[in-house]
């Protein structure tokens, strides 16, 4: 089964050497693709390439690593890697499932609020820029 990242995707997590565990709103699947391959094919499915999306994000954000990938722009499908995207341990977390808070008066931006899930560790990202 090929899988495309969608608005219902919560996370894509490595399962074993050849498969991923995909969490959606009320479901989870084992997909016989590695997380990075799912991301590459999802970008192609939505009309771009992973490298094109990554380079665009790097240019806009001025970041060099672990940049968010806009998988599909018209539906704001955005995913964050938890480590180097090509790492065997990298998970992809959907931005769509988080609340975005921007505190302009303090100059601090909180990009992702902590989110609890039953069977995997979630990540908290904060920037003071």
Structure tokens at 101: 């808070």
The pTM for the full model equals 0.74
Asked whether residue 129 is assigned to any structural domain, the reply reads no
Work out how many domains the chain is built from and give that number: 1
120 lies in a domain?
Answer: no
Q: Does pLDDT of 103 surpass 70?
A: no
DSSP category for residue 37: H
Contact 36, 44 (CB under 8 A): no
Q: What percent of the chain has pLDDT over 70?
A: 74
In a domain, 18, yes or no: yes
Range of the domain at 70: 9-98
Average pLDDT, the chain: 78
pLDDT at 46: 95
Q: What angle do CA 87, 89, 93 make, to 5 degrees?
A: 100
41-97 pLDDT, tens digit per residue, is 999 999 999 999 999 999 988 888 889 999 998 888 999 898 999 899 999 988 875
Residue pair 50/41 in contact (Cβ under 8 Å)? The answer is no
The pLDDT, as a whole number, for residue 26 is: 80
What is the C-alpha to C-alpha distance for residues 65 and 93, in angstroms, rounded to an integer?
A: 15
Give the mean pLDDT of 17-34: 91
Can you tell me the distance from the alpha carbon of 68 to that of 63, in angstroms, rounded to the nearest whole number?
Answer: 10
Tell which wins on pLDDT, 118 or 98. Answer: 98
Is 53 inside a domain boundary?
A: yes
Question: Does residue 126 lie within any of the structural domains?
Answer: no
């Amino acid at each position: 089964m090929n899988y495309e990242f969608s608005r219902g995707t919560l996370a894509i997590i490595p399962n074993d050497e050849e498969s991923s565990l995909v969490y959606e709103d009320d479901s989870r699947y084992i997909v016989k693709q590695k997380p990075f391959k799912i991301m590459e094919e999802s970008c192609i499915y939505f009309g771009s390439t992973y490298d094109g999306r990554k380079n665009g994000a790097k240019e806009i954000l001025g970041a060099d690593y672990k940049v968010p990938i806009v998988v599909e722009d018209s539906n704001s499908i955005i995913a964050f890697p938890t480590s180097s995207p090509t790492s065997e341990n990298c998970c992809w977390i959907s931005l769509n499932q988080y609340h975005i808070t921007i505190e302009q008066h303090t100059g601090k931006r909180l990009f992702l609020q902590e989110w609890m899930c039953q069977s995997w560790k979630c990540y908290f990202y904060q920037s003071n820029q």
